[in-house]
Amino acid sequence: MTVPTNRFPDDFVWGCATSAYQIEGSPLADGAGMNVWHRFSHTRGRVVNDENGDIACDHYRRYESDIELMKQLGLQAYRFSIAWSRILPEGTGRVNPAGLGFYERLVDRLLEKGIQPTATLFHWDLPVALDDRGGWLNRDIAGWFADYAESVFRRFDDRIKLWATLNEPWVVSDNGYLHGTAAPGHRSLFEAPIATHNLMRAHGAAVQAYRATGRHQIGLVVNIEPKYPASTSSEDVAATRRAEAQMNRQFIEPAMLGRYPEELRDVFGEAWPDWPASDVEQIRQPIDFIGLNYYTRAVVRNDPGAWPLRAAPVRQSQVAHTEMGWEVFPQGLTDTLLWIKDRYGAPPIYVTENGAAFADPATAAGDVLDDPRRVEYFRTHIRAVHDAMRAGVDVRGYFAWSMLDNFEWALGYSKRFGIIHVDYATQKRTPKASATFYSGVIASNGAVL
């Protein structure tokens, strides 16, 4: 693959990404079952300002005008997630035709507008009915997930050509079961490894199901945050390896190499089981691509009091940070793409999420002051992708996070990642300067960088 010096290959795909619970609203409409983020966000004290996704960006009802905005931007593809509990209100068994109907309308409208739909099966919004049966702690969930996957493959594989099983299983295991900062809000050293393992077994089962009937591509989306030691001391280097194994290799390694990083026993101790080899073999199903979500890096030091990693980030001074407190570090994206290529056999990669939160207040006149740092973030990170491709990494596409300002999980609506501003009181959409910039990147295939 020859990569031109000043633009991207002709078949490179440019898109934007979102997820169901963060933008759709109407979480219980038309027969949908309740999902764990609905229950979590309606539990006092779990989300900033006790905000929830009851309305969000009202995309469930406004999807046609939102697709019009995507068309105006010149998007070639759109990454969204399918809400499991719209399709199967009880998580298994009865299919809800109205739930399928929403995604049918969404997909057909996207195709009408020449925008490729790419779907993620699970973006954290587990049906409550399954959570009440143990959720990711119940080994049966691999079969439940495969059945759900089959019901959507059957319906949409004629129109969706790029599938992802899971979005960022690390966040579900680490935030949802280890630290309790995300749904379902558990805090347990023993539950997190079980959740990890069942998430990955479910991934494997869905890929196996896809291979039976699927005709296109399926992969796994992981968040990778490259870890750099704060010093060359053996303690800081060891701490960095623990942090890197627990976030960056805990999921991609079983999926691609059929093994878990040995550092996980150092992190979890007796709470890390000896998984049956047959389980890990089943997890290691050949996949067609890796989806990489990249936001930032971490500089890591040894911290004996930091449970359970015994590692802590060191904030870098005198450099730019986003509203999330994340360092702006585009070199980390190049480094990560090269790391995936070198460590996992040069798989095709899509950058499935990359973006930045900055405060973008709307003025009284209704304009939106898009922080110029967001344009700079996209410019430098898209350049970083190009650098990796010039160094031989097989990157197939880039999806900006996010198309719309949206519900940022436990941070509610306090963080704005969108290239399109959403006034949540009026639901008015206003493209930001970053939308104009990204539209130019797409139109010139990266030549404007």
Binding site for ligand 8P5 (CB under 6 A): 19, 22, 167-168, 171, 223, 225, 293, 295-296, 326, 353, 401, 408, 417
Shortest Å, Cβ 295 to ligand 8P5: 5
Using the minimum distance from each CB to ligand 8P5, give the nearer residue, 92 or 223: 223
- The count of other CB atoms within 10 Å of the CB of residue 78 is 23
DSSP 197-253: HHHHHHHHHHHHHHHHH--SEEEEEEE---EEESSSSHHHHHHHHHHHIIIIITTHH
Q: Is 168 a catalytic residue?
A: yes
Catalytic hit among 24, 253, 353, 408: 353
Q: What angle (nearest 5°) sits at the alpha carbon of residue 227, between those of residues 166 and 219?
A: 20
Using the minimum distance from each CB to ligand 8P5, give the nearer residue, 171 or 183: 171
Shortest Å, Cβ 226 to ligand 8P5: 11
Using the minimum distance from each CB to ligand 8P5, give the nearer residue, 272 or 417: 417
Which candidate, 162, 161, 183, places its Cα nearest to that of 174? Answer: 183
Shortest Å, Cβ 177 to ligand 8P5: 15
| Amino acid found at 243 | A
SS (H, E, C) 416-449: CCCCEEEECCCCEEEECHHHHHHHHHHHCCCCCC
Q: Is 353 a catalytic residue?
A: yes
For residue 180, list its beta bridge partners: none
What is the end-to-end Cα distance of the chain in Å, rounded? 21
Catalytic hit among 168, 225, 244, 263: 168
Shortest Å, Cβ 297 to ligand 8P5: 9
Shortest Å, Cβ 274 to ligand 8P5: 28
Q: What is the DSSP letter of 316?
A: P
Using the minimum distance from each CB to ligand 8P5, give the nearer residue, 138 or 414: 414
Q: Which residue is nearest to ligand 8P5 (CB)?
A: 223
Using the minimum distance from each CB to ligand 8P5, give the nearer residue, 326 or 344: 326
- The count of other CB atoms within 10 Å of the CB of residue 177 is 26
Q: Is 290 helix (H, G, I), strand (E, B) or coil?
A: strand
Dist. CA 400–CA 23, nearest whole Å: 15
Enzyme catalytic residues: 168, 353
